[in-house]
Chain A
Amino acid sequence: MSRLKDRAERREAGAAAPGRRRSRDTGRRMPGWEIALRYALLLAVLALTVGPFLWQLSTSLKGPHEDIFASPPSFLPEQPTFDNYARVAETIPVWDYALNSLTVAVVNVVANCAGAALAGYALARLRYRGRRAATLVFILAMLVPVEGIIIALFTTMRGLGLNDTLAGVVLPLSISALNVLLMRNAFLNLPYEVEEAAFVDGANVWQRFVRIALPSVKGTLAVVAILSFMGAWDDFLWPLIVLSDPQNFTLTIGLNYLHGTFADDERLVAAGTIIAVLPLVVLFACLQRYFFRGVGEGAVKG
């Protein structure tokens, strides 16, 4: 039995990170000029993709007497200071906003992992009348574009008395249909025999789910967790509509507000954006594998 489980885990791991599957060399040796050209191009793209973030970081560290509009531009702050981070906190309650974002993101992760695993297991494993209909519900829900239903979503939320609350922000994101279908696929890929054996041993549905099925799909669960965290932390349109009291803003909405109200001080806006982007960059640096894997699985479904 444990061997079967190992196999399942390995299968899971094998499916991991499509981007990491080693691409094969064409067999010929690369001439020196080609290697040089490749690195030159890589560095150029690097400057283009990461450069803007670094420029923003540099701007956020520049002192009040530095000319941030200088031409030719000065890329490094001459009088580096964290003052702007303190000042952005005086202008808007940026740490409260960060806490709101964190709350929404964490609740979203927990709700999605639990809800999607449960529903995915039901769709993949349990035999019952109406399972196809239930699967169809999730497929249809996945196809509905959020952008088209935001106003109706807002009226629904107001009907529930949840507009302008963090619960209202997180509810529509919690248990996304895409995640349910991802979990369903993960469970479908597990060999059946393990659970059968557990069944013979007298394990009930809940025990089979928690002790056997769930530990075997940890990889997909991690993908769901990351997609949920990123989705909630980065979301803009929906919180923009459902939140109105600046007290309840999440970071993205707070930044938009900061930009709209205090646009003249670029150092402040820059500091705010760095606060918003840093946690995700760190998360990404630590868990790249699952981010890339999420792309593959999300795209095939989406």
Chain B
Amino acid sequence: MTTPTTSPVSTPGKTAKRRAPGGRPPAGRPRGGRSRIRRQLPTSPWLFAAPGMLVAGAFSLYPFLSTVANSFTDRRALLPGSFVGLDNYREMLGDEMFWIGLRNSTLYVLGVVPALVILPLLLALLVEKQIPGITFFRSAFYTPVVASIVVVGLIWVWLLDERGLVNSMLEVVGAGPVGFLSDQWLLLLSAMAVTVWKGLGYYMIIYLAALGNVPRELHEAASVDGAGAVRRFLTVTVPAVRSTMVLVGALSSVAAFKVFSEVYLMAGPDGGPAGEDTTLVMLVQRTGTGLSGRVGYSAAISVVVFVVTVALMLLVLRADRKEDA
């Protein structure tokens, strides 16, 4: 808004210079735009960015810093608390519940991630070919992604009930009722199955995009060489979508470690029999909320969640780089 009248004087030369190489308009925005568009009210960029930065600062970064800070205090829900050094972390090491939570969240990663890396890829191969009705199938397979985790959790609680659909079908073939939701380990497995079930469609779409980029010549060449479907899958498809598999691995492992809702809904707020199915995030929620909530101790567990999450991301990305080398 500052005097556009002055710019025509100085700019034609610049424009000509910028356009010179190959006559193509400059693709780079920063360099291209510097000349004129910078002339604006100096405050407006900050006004534009302010609401977003306020939310990011107040509801992401500040709570993050305060979580780290709280982890060194004995703060409670209604008491400010004071600095206690590493006491919370020391207590954590001796807390059986913490180890149960860490074990379950880790098991969750180990159980869910391989399934979510492989099954959606197979599913993507199944829906990749343009055959009549395929769009319908793709959309239908995506439905569980759209549904709320609460809806999904409750649907499966009913399906896996002692007298639910799965057990009454088992009964038809003469198998006794299975306590999917009463046995500690079956419960965890069932929750994992639900996570996989809900995630299938999401990762299928990611793989579908990646499969579209696999050069068809590779498949043809392999076919000519007499490679069967399995062989082609292993020697052509897998290497071509390997980086996508790493991405899916990273996304799903981080999400799996932070699992809360599935287990909370299926095992109940207390985490199943004797709390044996408690996950780490459930523990954060349970210890930190309520009138007697131990904000400090809960924050220390949160810090473990942060550290492991970052570590998982780095681990997966490093595995990617190593294979590249």
Q: Which residues of A are at the interface with B, using a C-beta cutoff of 8 A?
A: 18-19, 21-28, 30, 35, 38-39, 41-42, 45-46, 48-50, 52-53, 55-56, 59, 69-73, 114-116, 118-119, 121-128, 131, 134, 137-138, 140-141, 144-145, 147-156, 171-172, 174-175, 177, 180, 188, 191-193, 195-196, 199-200, 202, 204-206, 209, 230, 233-237, 240-241, 251-252, 255-256, 259-260, 266, 269-270, 272-273, 276-277, 280-281, 283-285, 288, 291-292, 295-296, 299, 302
Whether the pair B205, A71 counts as a contact (CB closer than 8 A) is: no
Stretch from B40-48, B82-90, B94-102 at the A interface:
B40-48
- Number of B interface residues at 8 Å Cβ cutoff, please give it: 112
Whether the pair B288, A145 counts as a contact (CB closer than 8 A) is: no
15 contacts between A and B (CB under 8 A): A23-B212, A48-B197, A69-B164, A71-B171, A119-B53, A126-B48, A137-B56, A145-B306, A148-B258, A149-B302, A150-B288, A152-B295, A180-B56, A272-B154, A291-B142
Whether the pair B148, A233 counts as a contact (CB closer than 8 A) is: yes
Given contacts A150-B288, A151-B299, A266-B158, contact A192 B150 (CB under 8 A): no
In the assembled complex, the Cα of A190 lies from the Cα of B209 at a distance in Å of 23
Whether the pair B33, A196 counts as a contact (CB closer than 8 A) is: yes
B163 to chain A: which residues have CB within 8 Å? 69
In the assembled complex, the Cα of A302 lies from the Cα of B313 at a distance in Å of 11
Whether the pair A180, B123 counts as a contact (CB closer than 8 A) is: no
Whether the pair A147, B209 counts as a contact (CB closer than 8 A) is: no
A241 to chain B: which residues have CB within 8 Å? 285, 289
Q: Which residues of B are at the interface with A, using a C-beta cutoff of 8 A?
A: 1, 4, 7-8, 25-26, 29-30, 32-34, 36-38, 40-42, 44-46, 48-49, 51-53, 55-64, 66-67, 70, 123, 126-131, 134, 137-144, 146-151, 154-159, 161, 163-165, 167-169, 171-172, 197, 200-202, 205-206, 208-209, 211-212, 216, 219-220, 223, 247, 251, 254, 258, 260-261, 265, 268-269, 281, 284-285, 288-289, 293, 295, 298-299, 302-303, 305-306, 309
Whether the pair A56, B158 counts as a contact (CB closer than 8 A) is: yes
Given contacts A123-B49, A151-B284, contact A35 B131 (CB under 8 A): yes
Whether the pair A234, B148 counts as a contact (CB closer than 8 A) is: yes
Residue among A52, A55, A296 making CB contact with B206, cutoff 8 Å: A296
The residue among B63, B142, B169 with the most chain A CB atoms within 10 A of its own CB is B63
Whether the pair A255, B223 counts as a contact (CB closer than 8 A) is: no
A191 to chain B: which residues have CB within 8 Å? 25
Residue among A50, A151, A299 making CB contact with B302, cutoff 8 Å: A151
Whether the pair B126, A45 counts as a contact (CB closer than 8 A) is: yes
Whether the pair A149, B289 counts as a contact (CB closer than 8 A) is: no
* Shortest Cβ-Cβ A-B pairs, 7 listed: A119-B52, A18-B209, A71-B168, A151-B288, A234-B148, A122-B48, A141-B56
In the assembled complex, the Cα of A277 lies from the Cα of B153 at a distance in Å of 12
Nearest chain A residue, comparing its CB with the CB of B200: A49
B34 to chain A: which residues have CB within 8 Å? 127
User: Using a Cβ cutoff of 8 Å, how many contacts connect chains A and B?
Assistant: 329
Whether the pair B289, A154 counts as a contact (CB closer than 8 A) is: yes
Whether the pair A193, B29 counts as a contact (CB closer than 8 A) is: no
Residue among B200, B212, B223 making CB contact with A28, cutoff 8 Å: B223
A42 to chain B: which residues have CB within 8 Å? 126-127, 134, 137
Given contacts A56-B158, A151-B299, A280-B146, contact A145 B258 (CB under 8 A): yes
Nearest chain A residue, comparing its CB with the CB of B134: A42
In the assembled complex, the Cα of A18 lies from the Cα of B207 at a distance in Å of 10
In the assembled complex, the Cα of A207 lies from the Cα of B167 at a distance in Å of 63
**Seed contacts A21-B212, A147-B258, A150-B285; 14 additional CB < 8 Å A-B pairs:** A23-B129, A26-B219, A39-B131, A42-B126, A55-B155, A71-B172, A115-B55, A125-B29, A140-B60, A148-B64, A149-B63, A266-B158, A276-B150, A281-B147
A152 to chain B: which residues have CB within 8 Å? 62-64, 66-67, 70, 295, 299, 302
Residue among B44, B57, B150, B208 making CB contact with A252, cutoff 8 Å: B150
CB distance from B218 to the nearest CB of A (A): 10
Nearest chain B residue, comparing its CB with the CB of A198: B37
In the assembled complex, the Cα of A288 lies from the Cα of B289 at a distance in Å of 38
B70 to chain A: which residues have CB within 8 Å? 151-152
Whether the pair B51, A192 counts as a contact (CB closer than 8 A) is: no
Nearest chain A residue, comparing its CB with the CB of B139: A288
In the assembled complex, the Cα of A259 lies from the Cα of B156 at a distance in Å of 12
Whether the pair A156, B59 counts as a contact (CB closer than 8 A) is: yes
CB distance from B38 to the nearest CB of A (A): 4
Nearest chain B residue, comparing its CB with the CB of A285: B139
Given contacts A55-B159, A122-B48, A127-B38, contact A49 B140 (CB under 8 A): yes
Nearest chain B residue, comparing its CB with the CB of A52: B155
Nearest chain B residue, comparing its CB with the CB of A56: B155
Residue among B59, B127, B219 making CB contact with A171, cutoff 8 Å: B59
B197 to chain A: which residues have CB within 8 Å? 48-49
B130 to chain A: which residues have CB within 8 Å? 22-23, 25
In the assembled complex, the Cα of A26 lies from the Cα of B217 at a distance in Å of 8
Whether the pair A171, B212 counts as a contact (CB closer than 8 A) is: no
Residue among A39, A56, A151, A255 making CB contact with B150, cutoff 8 Å: A255
Residue among B51, B128, B142, B202 making CB contact with A284, cutoff 8 Å: B142
Whether the pair A252, B200 counts as a contact (CB closer than 8 A) is: no
Whether the pair B138, A19 counts as a contact (CB closer than 8 A) is: yes
In the assembled complex, the Cα of A251 lies from the Cα of B154 at a distance in Å of 13
CB distance from A111 to the nearest CB of B (A): 8
In the assembled complex, the Cα of A288 lies from the Cα of B70 at a distance in Å of 43
